[in-house]
Structure 1
Amino acid sequence: MDPFIHIFLVDNDSYFYDANKNEIIKISNESFKILDGIKNNDSSEIKLNNELLQLKEKGYLSEHRPKSIEHPTTNSLDTLLSRNLSLLTIQLTQNCNLRCSYCPYTSNDGTNRTHNNKSIDISTAKKAILFLKEHSVDSEYVTIGFYGGEPILEIKTLKEIVNYSKNIFYGKRVKYTITTNGTLLDNEMLKFLEENNFSLVFSIDGPQEINDMNRKYARSSNSVFFNVVDKINFIYKNLPKLFKSTFINMVIDPKYGLDGYENLFEQYEALSKIMVSTSILDDVYKTSKNTISKEFIEQYASRKKDYIEYLFLGNNPKKPFINMSFYESLFLKSIEKLVNGLYPSGGLGETSCPSGQCIPGNTRLMVDVDGNFYPCERVSEEGQINIIGNVDNGLSKEKTNYVLNIGKNGGNNCLECFAIRYCNICIKLYEKKLLNKNSNMINECRDCKASFHDYLIEYVRFNKDYMEVKHGEK
């Protein structure tokens, strides 16, 4: 007997997660020891007790595993890509006026490009826009994003693209978004963005001392932080319509505590009211990996607890939430996963797939300066592995299908993984293996399993503390 389960302890209680049923079941310590013996030893001589036999009669503890890997949208991929595109990110340039310490284009381990002077020409950009138009007939609206490098370096091309889009998307709503370091924006540019209904995403990575330690000019020692804050203050005071669509993208370095990031919102009125999106520093391409301080771990856990108790118990935190969107971005997604929980399932089929990969081309299509299409703006542009088409020939059915089913590279490791429903591994994390960079996915898979294991424990504790539950079911 080899049930498709994962056993775990929460404080003094014993549980198992059933991968087929997609449920958490509380069991006795005696049953836990039996299952532990089965999972770690020869199970032929181990007998189940009454509790486990009863659970087995109810369909739990099944030995069934999927036999093959295939993404559920494989057969409908052509339709999605031919009629349902809704987002195109245009890489205006691969150049940048900053050299941020953690930017994968400043330095990396060889699995990505570096900064250079290449920029997209308007004819290539127009081909990409026309491709979006022809493949978005079923979409209510489309979004065109501008990316870099630093896209404001190519503001002239950006304006040409906006004017071209207005003409060819007549009758369809078009949204624009730009991700910028903000340092090159002037008042005229900002007014253009407001007049054309842009969403504006600035990069500010914490208070001045942290931001300027990581975000530096390529040819100057001036403060990046104060330059960008001045731009945000101008928008706040003079361009209220644009301010409502302005966001901060804040990369949090876990080497530091959260206090400095929180205090930032107390210092500037505009920052206390702006929308914030956060992410933890990504070290996938870095040769030196993140340092996670004890201070960060403790403050993160404490503030998350404060936020949960504020939401579910109405408790006001000792330290006020100055900018609520900062905390929503940090915590809300993970809390929603706890609230939504695990949906009971009739079982895994003969065919399944790891859940980490999005639909390439349909979700976050990007075109680079050479007219090549990529699944998104976050993947490596080194080599050919992530190119899924180009503006002249369209999207490659073979390449999009390969990326969609990237989980097939995992083979039996994926089919035997208890976290297959909750895998977060996509093409980006397969890059080193595919580029022959001495990666065999052991670390990535280990981290994914550990993350899901931690989620199961947090889910049980969350339900104990804030929800009425019994045996893992609401």
Structure 2
Amino acid sequence: MKTIELYKAQIFLSNRCNLACAYCYFKEQKQVSQKLNFNQIKDFIIWFINFPGEYKEVELIGGEPLLEFELAKRTIEFLRHDPVVSPRKVFISDITTNGTIITNEIICFLKKENLKLNFSLDGDLKSNLNRKFKDNTDSFSVVWKNIFFYKENYTEPTIFMTISPNNAKGFYKNIRFLIDSGFQNISIAPEMLSTQWPKDTINVFLKEYRKFLKYYLLLKKPAGISIPFSKQPKMDDRITSFFCPDHLGDQAVLHFDGNIYGCPLAPCFKDQFKQFCFLGENPRTIDCKKFQPMRDYNLLKELGLKTNYKHTFINQLARMMCLCFNKDGNLIPIDDLKNFINLILQMHQEARNIGI
């Protein structure tokens, strides 16, 4: 039997978040507060680094991970400095945050450990109506202030910009807003999770996207702006990372419910697929035989769709189960998935048409 190797682990520190984002996948999972303790994290990390695989990467997420700063700090120090782990030189991913909680203490720690933050921001004030606080007040002014505080006191931030059907019409205005505000590292990606992309909305967005691509060619220093689904080096990898850290069967996820899964969104799935992705209640009970069936699974084939696309990302989509379920844990309608695939192909073609 072929040896399974794992290179990536995700750790959901807790389900706590101070925002109520419109496109959040874990809304139903946040009704009861759940948080890992350090011993759970430590046991999982030790299991992960001892599992076959030369390269090891760990990502800390939430909820909002910086709400659990002390737990994140202790975990990072364990990964970086504990003799049980440090000889392996585990790579720690930069932390993605909603940007509402940035302090001097956090920045000093990030500097010390040479870690950076990725900020989720969709554009200007109006575009960020998807990202409100739980009392329904807007988060933009707080996030905007914190991003510049981070930039002035540490380094250039990376902005993760999510394009959803309800802000697609303003995409060009929003990307220009971020560029004109001086941001150099911007990753853009269309929202998929539980989202419908009607054909008329796709056409509206593509019109905006063409305007952006023409502007992109005029930029003197465009390298920091990622063009999804284009010919840029490793861009398929970067856009895949924006959507899903790894494919089904390539990672292990310690969830805030304490269980371990093969997909970060597995607890939201209906029973059949949730059990398919369930690995164990703790590292000692993990069923390693489940990794290979996950790797062999082809969702596009299961749905009766084409499986031999020339575009790398769409073929990878076959093992990204989290992109194909709605917030109720059910598979999205096939027509919605087809529309999303068509959106990707058209974005790819638009970039190729102008030589990007």
**TM-score bracket for the superposition, by shorter chain length:** 0.7 to 0.9
The equivalences for 1:406-421 within 5 A come to 406-407=297-298, 410=301, 413=304, 419=309
**What SS class does the counterpart of residue 258 from structure 1 fall into?**
helix
With structure 1 as the length reference, what TM-score do the two structures score? 0.60
1:156 aligns with 2:70: yes
The equivalences for 1:395-474 within 5 A come to 395-407=286-298, 410=301, 413=304, 419=309, 423=315, 424-426=317-319, 427-428=321-322, 431=325, 437=330, 442-443=334-335, 446-447=338-339, 450=342, 458=349
1:378 deviates by 4.8
Distance 1:217 1:441, change over 3 A: closer
Question: Quick one: distance in 1 between partners of 2:205 and 2:299?
Answer: 37
1:259 aligns with 2:152: no
Question: Quick one: distance in 2 between partners of 1:235 and 1:305?
Answer: 31
Letter in 1 for 2:224: S
1:373 aligns with 2:270: no
1:251 deviates by 0.7
| Structure-1 residue corresponding to 2:239 | none
**What SS class does the counterpart of residue 122 from structure 2 fall into?**
coil
Question: Quick one: distance in 2 between partners of 1:412 and 1:295?
Answer: 28
1:101 deviates by 1.2
Distance 1:292 1:430, change over 3 A: closer
1:146 aligns with 2:39: no
Question: Quick one: distance in 2 between partners of 1:401 and 1:375?
Answer: 11
**What SS class does the counterpart of residue 95 from structure 1 fall into?**
coil
Unaligned runs of 5+ in 2: 237-243
1:268 aligns with 2:181: yes
With structure 2 as the length reference, what TM-score do the two structures score? 0.77
Distance 1:395 1:247, change over 3 A: farther
Question: Quick one: distance in 2 between partners of 1:377 and 1:428?
Answer: 8
1:367 deviates by 1.0
1:230 aligns with 2:145: yes
1:180 deviates by 1.3
Q: 1:106–1:114: 8 Å Cα contact kept in structure 2?
A: yes
1:417 deviates by 5.6
1:278 deviates by 1.5
Letter in 1 for 2:113: N
1:103 aligns with 2:24: yes
**What SS class does the counterpart of residue 78 from structure 2 fall into?**
helix
Distance 1:116 1:152, change over 3 A: farther
1:389 aligns with 2:280: yes
Distance 1:321 1:298, change over 3 A: farther
1:335 deviates by 2.8
Structure with the greater alpha carbon radius of gyration: 1
Residues 404-437 of structure 1, C-alpha deviations (whole Å, 9 max, x = no match) = 22228946946x76549853333235657x96x4
1:127 aligns with 2:43: yes
**What SS class does the counterpart of residue 198 from structure 1 fall into?**
coil
**What SS class does the counterpart of residue 201 from structure 2 fall into?**
coil
RMSD over equivalenced CA pairs, Å: 3.8
Distance 1:137 1:357, change over 3 A: closer
Unaligned runs of 5+ in 1: 1-74, 108-112, 311-316, 341-355, 468-474
The equivalences for 1:139-218 within 5 A come to 139=55, 142-165=56-79, 166-167=81-82, 168-176=84-92, 177-211=94-128, 213-218=129-134
1:92 deviates by 0.5
Identity across aligned pairs (percent)?
Answer: 20
| Structure-1 residue corresponding to 2:205 | 296
Question: Quick one: distance in 2 between partners of 1:371 and 1:297?
Answer: 42
| Structure-1 residue corresponding to 2:4 | 80
Residues 162-184 of structure 1, C-alpha deviations (whole Å, 9 max, x = no match) = 22222022223233332211212
